[in-house]
Amino acid sequence: MLVPAGRNKWILPRTGKMLVEGRVYLSEKLRKQLGNDTALNQLAQAAELRGAFGHVVGLPDMHSGFGLPIGGVLATDAREGVVSAGAVGMDINCGVRLMSTPFPADKLSQVELARLMEALEQRIPSGIGRSSPLAQYRTGNLEHVMCQGSRAVVAEGYGLPGDISHTEEEGCLTGADPAALPAEAVKRMHQLSTLGGGNHFLEFCLVDRVIDEELATRFGLAPGTLAVMIHSGSRGLGHQVCTDYSRLMLAAAPRYNIQLPSKGLAAVPIASAEGQRYLAAMACAVNYAFANRQLMAHHVREVLSRVVGIAPGDIRQVYDVAHNIAKFERHFGKDVLVHRKGATRALPPGHRDNPPAYRETGHPALIPGTMGTGSYVVSGTAELSETFFSVNHGAGRVMSRSEARKKISVSAMRESLGEVKVNSSSLKRIIDEAPAAYKDIDEVTLVLASIGLTRPVVRLKPLAVIKGEGDE
């Protein structure tokens, strides 16, 4: 199915109803690992959607998802093209925030680390179905959060102004309209400041390896220091927006003479009333997710200052990026809607959409690895234009959750975690997140770096991780 196109690069040729070809970035090893995964079919199907522009992209962590594969990018013509809820994904603005500290990680005792975890667990509920620990965010009257994102909660005292300038879109995607939210979604916006389950986590880590000294310095990441990574999204709200609009798009597509390649890729014209409403509802969920991570970052500051005495102002936000989002951008001289699903934007040095602090360097792109293994901070280069300035969002699964539960034993998982502290007393409840269920983060991250599309900046090593538990 894939035709080699140079080192770590493959073409998915145009066949059948595909309007554009696919470009897929995999090492030989990853291509073998992917095999004939349905992800390649899903990528080919996405290329059939009206207005598909340039090429569809499969990133090194790609694996099958609902509609578009996770680790997939689809750009559609902003005027003539469609928008697909499934091409953004269930967890709208699932994303990652990285905070740096000046604190030397080797000065942190195991007792202090345990205390940090305990204190954070008290403040941040995790797992499925949990409600906000903060009364004012359980009222359902959250129009300001939907419309202003991070800014709304920083204004209420949860954060520092620098957090906003160090967040993608400054923590607020334009075009949000709470009136576009489905009734069922409105019922589910009581979860601000909660972590969630699955691959979401809150991690204390160490800036372990500095690969690019100049960029690491510019990003404020000093070797040996303690850092914190928050991986979470829009919780039940985003899930409901995707579910309801995907169903609506499926019903509406025939009215616009749109032939759908699959249910998961249900789509309507961007210009249609349904398309506009989806984008307005999606922006609400995007902003809710930015605010969610903002609130958790506030708790991280409080706990770090209380337990180990780091001044809150010294805990800086490196950046916050979205992994599941659709945004209007300009590429190859054309206005397009870029759907990124399990993909992170990574703008190159000098790009005007960079935040001012990172205009010259390109903003940091955050790639969380698997629990217990490691994560990367990378930066995009000008050559990354061929992926619409997108990089992989993680390591990518090699097994489904159910497969992982069958094949991985608790003892094997415990061994693979090594010294990493885990909050969960029952590894069985998070076994679908075992490192063995994922690809190798080093291998995956180096695919784009080795062909000059990204510059790896630092590798982070986990010290302790908080995960939401599922069922046994």
Partner DNA sequence: ATGTGC
Which stretches does DSSP call E strand in 149-200? none
Binds DNA by CB under 7 A, chosen from 42, 148, 167, 240: 240
Contact status, residue 362 vs residue 354, Cβ threshold 8 Å: yes
Contact status, residue 164 vs residue 150, Cβ threshold 8 Å: yes
Question: CB of 368: closest distance to DNA in angstroms?
Answer: 10
Contact status, residue 356 vs residue 398, Cβ threshold 8 Å: no
Residue 390: closest CA among 438, 471, 331, 315: 331
* Under rule CB under 7 A, residue 94 binds DNA: yes
Please give the radius of gyration of the chain, using alpha carbons only, rounded to the nearest integer. Answer: 21
Give the residue with the Cβ less far from DNA, 27 or 246: 246
How far is C-alpha 420 from the chain's CA centre? 23
* Under rule CB under 7 A, residue 470 binds DNA: yes
Question: CB of 41: closest distance to DNA in angstroms?
Answer: 19
114-143 footprint of DNA as x/- string (CB under 7 A): --------------xx--------------
Question: CB of 263: closest distance to DNA in angstroms?
Answer: 8
Question: CB of 432: closest distance to DNA in angstroms?
Answer: 8
Give the residue with the Cβ less far from DNA, 39 or 90: 90
Contact status, residue 89 vs residue 70, Cβ threshold 8 Å: yes
* Under rule CB under 7 A, residue 54 binds DNA: no
Eight-class DSSP state of 397: B
- Provide DSSP, 284-325: HHHHHHHHHHHHHHHHHHHHHHHHH---GGGSEEEEEEESEE
* Under rule CB under 7 A, residue 91 binds DNA: yes
Residue 89: closest CA among 72, 108, 75: 72
Three-class secondary structure of residue 343 per DSSP: strand
259-278 footprint of DNA as x/- string (CB under 7 A): --------------------
Binds DNA by CB under 7 A, chosen from 17, 187, 306, 334: 187
Binds DNA by CB under 7 A, chosen from 239, 340, 345, 461: 239
383-412 footprint of DNA as x/- string (CB under 7 A): ------------------x-----------
CA dihedral of 130, 135, 138, 140, whole degrees rounded to 10: -170
Please choose, out of 172-180, 186-194, 279-287, 374-382, the segment that lies near DNA by the rule CB under 7 A.
Answer: 186-194
Contact status, residue 162 vs residue 220, Cβ threshold 8 Å: no
Contact status, residue 121 vs residue 351, Cβ threshold 8 Å: no
CA dihedral of 71, 282, 163, 380, whole degrees rounded to 10: 30
Question: CB of 231: closest distance to DNA in angstroms?
Answer: 8
Pairing outcome for strands 21-25 and 55-63 = parallel
* Under rule CB under 7 A, residue 233 binds DNA: yes
317-356 footprint of DNA as x/- string (CB under 7 A): ----------------------------------------
Please choose, out of 230-238, 353-361, 435-443, 451-459, the segment that lies near DNA by the rule CB under 7 A.
Answer: 230-238
For residue 134, give every residue at least 6 positions away whose Cβ sits within 8 Å of its Cβ, in sequence order, or none. Answer: 192, 193, 295
Please choose, out of 43-51, 184-192, 384-392, 454-462, the segment that lies near DNA by the rule CB under 7 A.
Answer: 184-192
Question: CB of 242: closest distance to DNA in angstroms?
Answer: 8
Please give the size of the binding site for DNA, defined by CB under 7 A: 25
Give the whole-angstrom CA distance, residue 119 versus residue 97: 19
Do you know the residue count of the chain? 472
Give the residue with the Cβ less far from DNA, 90 or 286: 90
Give the residue with the Cβ less far from DNA, 187 or 255: 187
Backbone angles phi, psi at 76, to 5 degrees: -125, 145
Question: CB of 302: closest distance to DNA in angstroms?
Answer: 23
Question: CB of 94: closest distance to DNA in angstroms?
Answer: 6
Please choose, out of 37-45, 236-244, 348-356, 415-423, the segment that lies near DNA by the rule CB under 7 A.
Answer: 236-244
Q: What are 192's two structure tokens?
A: 């601000």
Give the whole-angstrom CA distance, residue 132 versus residue 47: 40
Question: CB of 339: closest distance to DNA in angstroms?
Answer: 16
- Indicate if 299 belongs to the active site: no
Binds DNA by CB under 7 A, chosen from 193, 199, 375, 423: 199
Residues numbered 412 to 441 that lie near DNA (CB under 7 A) are: 433
For residue 164, give every residue at least 6 positions away whose Cβ sits within 8 Å of its Cβ, in sequence order, or none. Answer: 150, 151, 154, 170, 171
Burial 376-397 (b: 16+ CB within 10 A, else e): bbbbbbeebebbbbbbbbbbbb
Give the residue with the Cβ less far from DNA, 50 or 239: 239
Give the whole-angstrom CA distance, residue 389 versus residue 217: 23
Task: Give contact residues for DNA (rule: CB under 7 A).
Answer: 66, 90-91, 94, 128-129, 184, 187-188, 191, 196-200, 233, 235-236, 239-240, 401, 433, 468, 470-471
Catalytic residues: 393
